[in-house]
Structures are given as C-alpha cells and as structure tokens.
Amino acid sequence: MSDEGLTVFNGRYELLRRIARGGMADVYLARDASLDRQVAVKVLFPEFANDPSFVERFRREAKAAANLNHPNIVGIYDWGQEQGTYYIVMEYVVGRSMADVMRSTGRLSPDRAAEIASDVAEALSSAHNAGLVHRDVKLGNIIVSDDGQVKVADFGIATALARRTGDNLTHIGSVMGTATYFSPEQAQGKALDGRSDLYSLGVVLYEMIVGKPPFTADTSTAVAVKHVQERPLAPSLLGVSIVESLEAIILKLLAKNPANRYPKADDLRADLQRYLAGAHNIPTRTGESPQTRTAERAATRPQPPAAAAPARPRTGPVATTHPSRGGPPTGPGVQVPATPGPGSGPGPPQQYVPPPAYYYEEVHRSDGWKRAVLMFLGLAVLLVALIFLAWTFYDSLGLGDDNGPAEPTTSDSAALIDVPDVLGLSYGEADAQLRSVGLVPEPSYQVNTGQPENTVFAQSPPAGQRIEEGATVALTVSQGEIPRVPPVRGRNRVDAEAVLRSAGYEVIVIEGASQAEAGIVVGQDPSSNAELAPGEAVTITVSTGPGQIFVPDVRGQTLSQAFQTLIGQGFRVGERREPSTVVEEGQIIDTDPPSGFPVSPGLEVFVIISDGPPLVAIPDVQGLLFDTGKLAIERAGLEIGIVTFEPVEPGSTDVGRILAQTPPPNLEVSAESQVDVVVGESSETDGDQTGPESPEGEGGESEGIDQTGVDSPEEPDATG
C-alpha cells in the first residue's frame, strides 16, 4: 500500500479505480509510477488464481499477446504475481468500446462499419500471422479511441495455433468465448483457426449495420445452436439500405463451413477496401444485363430457360476496378466469357483467370449428368477402399493364421500415452500431472467420508491404460465429509450449471442486469464452500448485460473515495447534506438512489453527507413556571443550564416563574445544548442564588431554595 492508501503492484503500478469486469478478471485504471503514465491492469479473480488451468491460460495470454506489436491491437507491457493473484499491465486507451457506442447511438452507417471492420481485420491478420486466434471477437473487445483509432483488446483466451510438445492447454472440446459471436465450429467445441475469428467479425459487422446480431435467443445455448443450424437473414431483407458488395462480404463471413469463408483476414480487408473505394456493385457476367442477374437472384422458383439461350459459364471470383483509374477493367483480373456471346468474333473461347477479389454468387449449373457420373465413380472408389481397409484390419488381427494377433508397430505405440496414477493426489496435483503428459482432466465432485476434501479417489481410464494424446481422463474428486457448494461466480452459465450438477445439486437460474457481460454468473446462493446436502438447489444469478447497474455502497468511504467509486462506474455525482443523530458530521449517510438500487448507466447519484445532529429551535419559556419551562426545554431535546434567581416583590405572580432565558427563543442550536434561565424569587428570601436546582414554590408563594443547602435569609446578595 502507498501512503495514499492505494493498492500498488510490483512497487510501481498504483491501482486508481476499476473500469471494467470480464469473465475471469477485473480491469483497473492504474498509474505507472516509474514512467509516469496511465495504464490498464487486469487482475485475475481470487477464485481462479488457485486453478492451475486458469492461471496457465492467464500467463500465456501475457506472453503471447506481448509479442503482438500493431497499432490496432491493445499493447501488453508487463505481467506478474502479487497478493495471491496474477495481473497483466496493458495499454490504457482513452475511448469507448463499440458496445457502448452501439448502445448510445444505435446502428452505424455501412461505410463507417466497413472502416471499423477493416481495421479489426488488419489487427486479426497480425495476430493470425503470429499463430494466435482471438476466440472472443465482439463489440465489447473493439475500442475506438477519442482520436478515432480502432483497437482490438483482450486476447485473454487467445490460443497458439502451433501446438508445442506437451502443451495441451487448448484442446478439441473446450468452448470459450461469447455465444452471440460464436462461430459454428466454436459452438461445437471443434478445433479453431483464424477463420473462426472472421466469422465472429462477420457477426460484429452485421450487428453494426443492422443494429442487432444475426441470432438471438433466451439462452446462450439456444444462440449457439442457431449459429450451427440456421442461416442469417440478409440485411437487405430487414429493411437495411445496403449495397450488394457489402452484403456479399457479410454473408461470406457468416458461412457455416469455414472453407466457404475468407481464407485469411488480409483477403477480407482487401474486399472491404475495394468496397470503400467505390466498388459497390458485383460486376455482371459478360453479355448479361444487371436486370437479368437481379431477377435471377430474386427468383423463388426455377424458370424455364430460353430456347436459344446458350449455356451460361460458371462464374468464379469477380474482379473490381478502382474508380480512380477509370475506363473498363483490364489486366489479368478481367472476366472473359467462356462461350461466345452475341456479336463475338470467331476463335476459341477464352478462359477465366481468378482475380484477387472474393465477391461471388452461386449460379445454375447445366452439367448435372456429368456430376451424376462422377458421384457414381466416387462411390465405387469409396466402396473398394472400405473393402480393402476391412481386409487389412481382419488380417492384422491374425485370425486367418496361427500367429495370433499382430503386435503394435513402433509408430502405433508412439501415438499412445500411459495413463498416470493420480489416485490420492489433490485435484490441483492431478490436473498438472495429466496435462504434463498431454491428457485432459475432467473433474466431478462427490461426497466421500473416507477421503480428504479435494482428493482424487477415482479415475477413468485407470492407471496404466494406454490412450491417445489429448484424450479425457475423468476424475472423481472428494468433497470431504461435509458436502460444500463449489464456486461458480464469474463462470459462464453453461459451465456453472455443469459444475453444480456434477456436484449433485439442482440449479435454479435467475437473470438480472449487472455490469458483467451477458451470460456470466454474478452471484450464487448458497455461497461457495457453504455446507449443502446433495440434491438441494443452488440459485445462480446470471447477468443479462449492463442494461441496468446497481448503485454501489460507498458508506464508510471518504467523500473523495466515494466520488471516485461512483464516477468509475459511469455515474454523474452530486452531494447533499442532511442532519443525523447516528452518523458523525462529515461522514457519508447513504446515496440517493440508495445503494443496491438498480438504475440506468449515467444517472446522477447524490452522496448524502451528515451535518451532525439536527438543529432545534429553543422554545419560548419566559413567563412559565420553572417546572413547566424545564419540561418544554427537555422535550425540545435541550437541557437546563444555569438557573439564576432574581428577587421580586413578595406576593408577585413572577415568583417561581422564568423571567429570562439565554439563548433567546426561536434560535436554532444543536440538540442537547443548554439553556440558562432566570427565575423570580420572593424578596423575603433576600438572596440571588445561582445553581442547578429549581424553586419548589408555585404561584404567589415566596418559598426559595438556598443552593448551598443552608437556609440563610440574612446573607447579603451574592452579587454584592
């Protein structure tokens, strides 16, 4: 801690305030004291810091992303371990995420969306060339700085494309990312490459232009299923004004089969640049009018071909010409018809030379009988291959001779791994040992009174069995004698439900707005590690996104800290003062709206500061009998102070009554303040007495009290 009470990492990074919260880490605005600059520091959640796989993924993010040096990628400066957790120091970009921009401005113009997508494609190209897949391209990870520069952030779940020996951290079957932007192969848990990021960028581009993503549903799982099974509606069918070329780019990005997308991010960027340069229409086939092609694309059923119409050539990629060059397109990228059109001269037909653009359209084919023959031949070849493989397998078993089963070859043995014995180890040790040999642990939790908590007591396959590298080993982990609820806060909904059900609990899901991303678990009841019998229900609260946020509790903070907390969460802040008999003056009573109340981002929140006890008006007690006046003063929350006696004529009605008071009536003072009074006393007592006691007489009686406790009517007046 520094002198100002700030948390400091590595003796140089002073954490100022939290500015974001992700699926597994908080992000803070910080000051690098060594270089006197602002940076962003990502700090792993404590519940994940003890998980070896999360820690390794976090560590790898720093090393991999630190090697990326590109103006459209948020830079990584440093990483380390501090206070029982791990952190990464990143470039601090003053700007807004595209998610924030879309919430405030709505959909973008097609040209602006294409410009942003082009910059993102350039950033992804740099990452893909370095062997990294982002895996979580979305609006929230695209930041536009105040000077208009586009940057891609959070390579937090980036994966090395080139697998290294013994590195099995990313494997087929692991699903990470945000369901709204999943590629079909990502939703199915398949191996990913750069084309998965391009699909996610296609979803982003679609959402920027249309105003909503191509697929929406009530749950993340349902959205993922739509990515796999359903085709997106073209933006033009939703009433969006968009030219053909840009729509073709979007639909090509959203192809279900990765082979039908752009092979590289550079190819996508090239097409976006062509669009921005003015290539707003897909060129027509030679000899065909644009009206003919438009009608063909819009047709809902096959039309009979014209009797004299020649067979149309199959179209490939179509080149476009930069408008600044003018004139008809020339060079090797020009499309030439494969068959002569009207008015064509004699000579053999020319062939296509594939140009670099990737606009394309499906065309009708008239060579169906050829394809049928080729399909038949292919099936015949496949049948022969299957018969050969079956015979080879039969022969390898040695069933046709007396030599017994064939021994595995050296190459077969090299592909298998002996399952290590991890029984009796803690889950963390078992996880590390299995991953070190290229296997993937899959834990489930059960109550076991005979095994210590977090100890592996069963595994499948058993130790010694030989299995393929990358295969899964199921581990059964003891919950100890008392079953406890596993921690799921910060996980996505699908993972959280799986973890809880594997521990034997029913799951109740409640959705609510929060600052966390949609689909992230932000609360659980009972809390993690609470004792709960299997079969009982655990309620999890899943974020629906930052549609509304909760006012933070700033009670107990200084005024400066409270302002920093509220401003850091996007509120406008004011202050108001109120009296309080409970909260000391200058301390925070509460906020308005109160802490924990759900409100819209950007709302003005007032910090209520105590002015101390409330002021009370001094009652007018002059002329009242002393006892009556004293009661009125005490009921007002004040106290009787000094009582002074003043002689009056014997028999006067002022005997025993309050003649004067200090402070005067109606003056506002703090509660429990003292009020001094002057009380009339019969002159027969001949004494002006001062003291805390009140006279006992009433009405015209001239009875008085000597404050010393001695009846001495002969003594002179104390005032001399």
In whole angstroms, how far apart are CA 406 and each of 385, 390, 413? 22, 15, 13
Q: How many CB atoms lie within 10 A of CB 444?
A: 15
Residue with tokens 């370095």: 130
CA distance 317 to 231: 22
Contact 579, 615 (CB under 8 A): yes
Which residues have C-beta within 8 Å of that of residue 390, sequence separation ≥ 6?
none
Whether a cis peptide bond, with omega within 30° of 0, leads into 184 is no
Please measure the distance between the N-terminal and C-terminal CA atoms of the chain and give it in whole angstroms.
67
Residue 136 has phi, psi (to 5 degrees) of: -140, 50
What the block records as the tokens of 389 is 């493989």
CA distance 364 to 295: 13
> Which amino acid type is present at position 253?
L
Beta strands 472-478 and 440-446, pairing class: parallel
293: helix, coil or strand? helix
Buried b (16+ CB within 10 A) or exposed e, 613-628: beebebbebeebbbee
392: helix, coil or strand? helix
Contact 55, 431 (CB under 8 A): no
Question: Which alpha helices (H) appear in 337-475, and where do they start and end?
Answer: 368-396, 410-414, 427-436
Question: Which alpha helices (H) appear in 211-323, and where do they start and end?
Answer: 220-229, 244-253, 265-276, 290-298
CA-based R_g, the chain, Å: 41
DSSP, residue by residue, 514-545: -SSPTTBEEEEESPTT-B--TT-EEEEEEE--
Buried b (16+ CB within 10 A) or exposed e, 133-157: bbbbbbbbbbbbeeeeebbbbbbbb
What the block records as the tokens of 513 is 């707005």
Which residues have C-beta within 8 Å of that of residue 627, sequence separation ≥ 6?
694
Question: Which alpha helices (H) appear in 593-672, and where do they start and end?
Answer: 626-635
CA distance 45 to 490: 8
Burial of 232 (0-12, 13-18, 19+ CB in 10 A): buried
Among the listed residues 26, 32, 119, 136, the single catalytic one is 136
What the block records as the tokens of 265 is 């991010």
CA distance 581 to 559: 19
Burial of 523 (0-12, 13-18, 19+ CB in 10 A): middle
DSSP label of 675:
E
3-state SS record for 15-65? EEEEEEECCCEEEEEEEECCCCEEEEEEEECHHHHCCHHHHHHHHHHHHHH
Q: Does the annotation count 3 as an active-site position?
A: no
CA distance 90 to 73: 11
Beta strands 76-82 and 85-91, pairing class: antiparallel
Q: How many residues does the chain have?
A: 720
What the block records as the tokens of 527 is 């809390």
Catalytic residue numbers, as ranges: 136
